[in-house]
Amino acid sequence: MNRIERTKWFLDDRFGMFIHWGLYAIPARGEWVRSREKMSVEDYEEFFEEFNPTNYNPKEWARAAKAAGQKYAVLTTKHHDGFCLFDSKLTDYKATNTPAKRDLIKEYVEAFREEGLKVGFYYSIIDWYHEHYPAFGDRNHPMRDNEDFKDKNIDFDQYLEYMHGQVRELLTNYGKIDIMWFDFSYDDMTGEKWRATELINMIREIQPDIIIDNRLGGNIKSSNPEIYAGDFYSPEQIVPPGGIVDENGEQIPWEACITLNDNWGYHSKDKNYKSPKQVIRTLVECVSKNGNLLLNVGPDAKGLIPDESIEILEVVGKWMRRNGESIYGCTASSLPKPEWGRYTQNGNKLYAHVYDRGIGPIYFAGLKGKIKKARLLADGSELHVQTPWMAEQYSDIESGAFINLAGAQLPDEMDT
């Protein structure tokens, strides 16, 4: 299988749930708390001893994702703090040794599979816990300025054995896994520094169909990319304005990852949530540029997705139930971006996402005589192709067509 075959389902599905969850949910100041506040392992230890997510019910997470129209999920099996939600034989720093006492990844995989969703693993190649992970290679290591730590004898190969071993565990012990989402490489700590070719060969042997992000390093945009350069490009907190193409101008699969508020991990004070409308428009924006959206939630220390996030997902789901056809299996359109919104397309079906209906009929450049019929996607009701009075005199619109939206109820008066 090549990248194009592997990513087919992914590009059809378009919309996934990202989940950042770990010990950092307890301090509730985001997943970077250890680095930002320069906490030692000991400072962080109380969260390990305390971690007991009594409300952890991944079936609920999976139902929320499915109801929102999301088709796959990616969960942090280990974040930069090194804590593992899975029962790794290679470390004691794992959920089974906390009061939670269970393999939380196993339950996640089962629950999401049961809802018919595809399952992904986020795995941090950065590790602030492992004794052989070098602070000198990581400008944000919490212990970087600590003299004792610097003097430690680091054998990076031991860390690499551990990291490769954990990836092997993750891809061996939980059945078929759809996405491996590595995070991340600094400019000078990249590619073969992770023994990336060897790592990818191992992964492809265990899970031949799995798709992998581009954060191990390499140049995914090259016409001859390294084996570890990834199946899809992962821009963060941005929708790339022109999509992503390789050196030859060919489309590269990509997936924007975006938070609902301003943190990935749970943050009790961060209430800066995006509106459902912004989220829907971001999803449309991605698809209109051939991309996916991986939308993040950060469950709290009890294991609950914040109410605010659930409410946004519900509204998005309402929209998706009526308009999902304009997302799944859709791509960019070759038509120029319309002034009133965005296009997505599936074969000969063009979806017009109308953000600004203005007054009068809306204009479709280049489509004169080409629109067979027009329908309002939300309810299937008929719309009329209409040529306005004296339109032939508007010199710049000769090749275009008009559709009359009069009387059409755009969903919540916000989107098509």
Min separation Cβ 184 and ligand JFZ, Å: 4
Of the pair 51, 182, the CB lying nearest ligand JFZ is at: 182
Question: Applying CB under 6 A, which of residues 31, 138, 285, 415 lies at the interface with ligand JFZ?
Answer: 31
What residues from 266 to 295 belong to the interface with ligand JFZ (CB under 6 A)?
none
Q: What Å distances lie between residue 10 and 6, 26, 111, CA to CA?
A: 8, 33, 20
Rounded-to-integer distance, Cα 85 and Cα 77, Å? 5
Of the pair 66, 215, the CB lying nearest ligand JFZ is at: 215
Residues 6+ apart with CB under 8 A from 43: 34
Of the pair 309, 331, the CB lying nearest ligand JFZ is at: 309
Q: Quick check: 258 binds ligand JFZ (CB under 6 A)?
A: no
Q: Quick check: 103 binds ligand JFZ (CB under 6 A)?
A: no
Residue with tokens 């230890």: 45
Min separation Cβ 299 and ligand JFZ, Å: 14
Of the pair 78, 353, the CB lying nearest ligand JFZ is at: 78
How many residues bind ligand JFZ (CB under 6 A)? The answer is 8
Of the pair 31, 415, the CB lying nearest ligand JFZ is at: 31
Question: Applying CB under 6 A, which of residues 264, 266, 343, 364 lies at the interface with ligand JFZ?
Answer: 264
Question: Applying CB under 6 A, which of residues 60, 131, 226, 236 lies at the interface with ligand JFZ?
Answer: 236
Q: Quick check: 75 binds ligand JFZ (CB under 6 A)?
A: no
Q: Quick check: 183 binds ligand JFZ (CB under 6 A)?
A: yes
Min separation Cβ 124 and ligand JFZ, Å: 7
Residues that bind ligand JFZ (CB under 6 A): 20, 31-32, 183-184, 236, 257, 264
